[in-house]
Structure 1
Amino acid sequence: MRPSKRDEILAAAKRVVQREGVTTLTYESVAAEAGLTKGGLLYHFPSREDLLLALHTHVAAEWEQAMEAEAGAPAEEITEDQRFAAYTRLSQNPERAELILQLEASENPEANEVWERVYRAWAPEPPSAEDLSDGAKLQAFIARLAADGLWFYEALSSQPLDPAVREQTIEAIIRLASPAEGAPETPDDGA
C-alpha cells in the first residue's frame, strides 16, 4: 500500500527534526525533504503549528504502534505489567526526533496531551498523596522513572551501553515495577 502524501510529508518532517531540530522545521525545509512544493504542504497543513501538531501525533502513534507490536495487543487488552514491559523495552534507543519532539511538547499543551495520552496508556502514573500508603504504586512509578532515565541516558550518552548490559538493565527495571512476580522467595525461619 502506497503511503499518503500527508504521511510522506510527516515522514519528511520527522527526518528534518531528526537531523536539525524543531527550530529548522519550516515549509521550505519540509518541502525540500519531501520533494514537494510549499503549496503542496499548505494544502495538507495550513500553518506550521498544524504541521507540528500533526508531527507530534504521527510520531507518538508510531511509538504506540511499536509498543502494541512488542506487547502483542493494544494497551486496553493487556495487563499493567505487560504494558510497562513493552513501554520499557520500546522506550530505549529513541530516535533523536522523538526526544526533541517530547521535550518541545512540554511547552505546548496541545502537543503535550498527545504524548501524555500514550504515557497514560502504557506507563505507571505518579502516585497521588493518598496512594503513598500503597508501596506498589510508588515502586511502579519509580520503575517508570528508571526506564525514562535509561531512555535519556541512551539518547544523550556518547558511549552506548553494551547490548547485554542494556538488556539486563531493562529486565531489572521491569521486575522493579512488579516486585511480587520477580521477588526472590524468602526462606522459612523454621527450616
Structure 2
Amino acid sequence: MRRDELLDAAECLLDDQGVQGLTLAAVAERAGVSKGGLLYHFAGKEALIQGMIERLIADFDALVEAQDEPTYTRAYLAATFEAVESGRLRRWAVVTGAAGDHALLAPLREAMARWHTHGLDDEPDPPTSQVVRLACEGLWDVATHSPSVMDYAAVHRRLLELL
C-alpha cells in the first residue's frame, strides 16, 4: 500500500465523517490494509495528519511551480484558480479541520508565510501583489465552504487587472 493511497483514504474519511471518523482502524479499513500496514507508514494519527498537511503543501508548491507566469504572484494566482477549478481546495478545509493540535499546523503556517513573502522584491508593485495573494486566501476559504457564492471568472479577471 502506497503512502498516498493511505492519505487519500484518510482525506475521504475526513470529508465523509469529520474528525471523529478519523481513526487508524477506519483509515486502514478504507484503504484495504491492516492497521499494521498503516502503522508501517504512519506511526499514529498525528503522523497521518502531518502527512496530509505536508502533502497539501507539496501539491500547492508543485502547482505554483508548474505555472508559466512571469512573476510569483501571477503563478500563485493561476495555481489558486487551477486548484479551485479542479476541486483540489476541498482538501484544505478537510485536512486543516483535522489538525486540532495547533502544533500540527506549524508546517502550513510556515508555508503560508513563504507563499506570502516569496519574490515580493521582484514584483512590479509589491503591495498590490500582497493584496492579490491575500485575496487568494479568501478565495480558498470561500471555495471550500461556500463555492457557489461568487463568479470565479470575474474575480480572476479582476485580480489579473490589479497586477
TM-score, normalised by the number of residues in structure 1? 0.66
Higher Cα Rg, which structure: 1
State the partner residue of 2:161.
175
Q: 2: CA distance between counterparts of 1:95 and 1:89? A: 10
Structure 1 unpaired stretches of 5+: 128-135, 179-191
User: Alpha carbons of 1:50 and 1:107: their partners in 2 closer, same or farther (altered >3 Å)?
Assistant: closer
Matched residue count = 158
Q: 2: CA distance between counterparts of 1:84 and 1:96? A: 17
User: Alpha carbons of 1:90 and 1:116: their partners in 2 closer, same or farther (altered >3 Å)?
Assistant: farther
Q: Is the 8 A contact 2:63 2:79 kept in 1?
A: no
Query: Greater share of helix residues, 1 or 2?
Result: 2
CA shift at 1:62, angstroms?
Answer: 2.2
CA shift at 1:137, angstroms?
Answer: 3.3
Query: RCO greater where, 1 or 2, for CA within 8 Å and sep 6 or more?
Result: 2
Q: Is the 8 A contact 1:84 1:174 kept in 2?
A: no
CA shift at 1:147, angstroms?
Answer: 2.0
User: Alpha carbons of 1:36 and 1:47: their partners in 2 closer, same or farther (altered >3 Å)?
Assistant: same
State the superposition RMSD in angstroms.
3.1
Structure 2 unpaired stretches of 5+: none
Q: 2: CA distance between counterparts of 1:169 and 1:56? A: 27
Partner residue of 1:166 out of 136, 139, 152: 152
Partner residue of 1:15 out of 2, 9, 12: 12
Matched-pair identity in % = 26
State the partner residue of 1:119.
112
TM-score, normalised by the number of residues in structure 2? 0.75
What does 1:121-136 align with in structure 2 at a 5 Å threshold?
Answer: 121-124=114-117, 136=125
Q: 2: CA distance between counterparts of 1:106 and 1:138? A: 33
